[in-house]
Structure 1
Amino acid sequence: MKKTVMVIGYGNDLRSDDGIGQRIANEIASWHLPSVESVAVHQLTPDLADSLASTDLAIFVDACLPLENFDVQVQSLAPACDIDTNVHIGNPRSLLAFTEAIYGNCPQAWWVTIPGINFEVGDRFSRTAESGGAIALVKIVQILDKVKNFWIENRAVA
């Protein structure tokens, strides 16, 4: 069975830094990596559950307002305890819960958040989002490398 990864970059690309998730997803898509599907969407919607259900690993990428620092954050995600009927509002945990409820499974998941400071109408990224995007790409490559090595090691054992 072929192991697959789905990268979902989301945010409003007409609201400056909010579009950085889509930019990252488009960049990863341009790499044409085998077994990696990368999609750029405006918001998380229930229709993504179908693809997620047949994926081994999901990486969600989004912009965020920095609360304490301006670091790119990478955190493991588990499905929410309850299903949010407003899955389209952009909550990856709710989308994972929805996927699990409908299809009986969901992928292991990571959430990469990139700090942004300008969410006004526009199509230009701040320096903060630009540098965060570059760091996020490195962190995503590190996740992909770890997963690739894990799959190779388990395949050798099986």
Structure 2
Amino acid sequence: MKKTVMVIGYGNDLRSDDGVGQSIANEIASWHLSSVQSLAVHQLTPDLAAALANTDLAIFVDACLPVDGYDVQIQALLPDCDVEGSVHTSNPRSLLALTQALYGNCPTAWLVTIPGINFDIGDRLSRIAEMGKAVALVKIIQILDKVRNCWVDIRASA
């Protein structure tokens, strides 16, 4: 059985650094990886749940305001516990909860956040977001390599 990965980069690409998630998703799509589907979307919407239900791993990519420095952050995600309260919000945990509730399945998931400093109207990333994009792409490649090696090990032992 073929394992699949979905990368979902989201944010407003007309708000400068807020578009970094979409920019990363488009970059990954250009790699044409057979087991990776990459989507660039303005926001997370309930219709994505159907695709996520048939995915083994989801990587969500978004911009964030810098909190403690300008490091790209990666965190594991679990579905939100409050399915009813999360249906009308558009964040990865809510979308995972909706996927679980509707389809009885949701993928392992990660959130990659890239710090941005310019969220004004515009279509260019700041230098900070561009550097974060480069780091995030390397980290996503590492996740994909790690997962691919794990899947190969599982198939070999089966």
Work out whether the TM-score is over 0.5: yes
**Residue of structure 2 equivalent to 1:57:** 57
Residue of 84, 87, 98 corresponding to 1:85: 87
**Residue of structure 2 equivalent to 1:6:** 6
| Secondary structure at 1:34 match in 2 | coil
- For structure 2, the 5+ residue unaligned runs are none
**Residue of structure 1 equivalent to 2:28:** 28
Counterpart-to-counterpart distance in 1, 2:82 and 2:25: 28
The residue type paired with residue 26 of structure 1 is N
State the Cα deviation string for residues 21-66 of structure 1 (Å, max 9, x = none). 0000000000000110000000000000000000000000000001
CA RMSD of the aligned region, Å?
A: 0.6
Shift of 1:94: 0.4
| Secondary structure at 2:134 match in 1 | helix
Counterpart-to-counterpart distance in 2, 1:27 and 1:130: 13
| Secondary structure at 1:81 match in 2 | coil
| Secondary structure at 2:69 match in 1 | coil
**Residue of structure 2 equivalent to 1:98:** 98
Counterpart-to-counterpart distance in 1, 2:17 and 2:151: 34
Q: Does 1:135 align with 2:149?
A: no
Shift of 1:100: 0.2
The residue type paired with residue 81 of structure 2 is C
Shift of 1:85: 2.3
State the Cα deviation string for residues 55-79 of structure 1 (Å, max 9, x = none). 0000000000011111000110000
Kept after mapping to 1: 8 A contact 2:58/2:109: yes
- For structure 1, the 5+ residue unaligned runs are none
Counterpart-to-counterpart distance in 1, 2:49 and 2:37: 14
Counterpart-to-counterpart distance in 2, 1:152 and 1:16: 39
Q: TM-score, normalised by structure 2?
A: 0.97
The residue type paired with residue 122 of structure 2 is G
State the Cα deviation string for residues 66-122 of structure 1 (Å, max 9, x = none). 1111100011000011121213x3x10000000000000100000000000000111
Q: How many residues align?
A: 156
Q: Does 1:75 align with 2:75?
A: yes
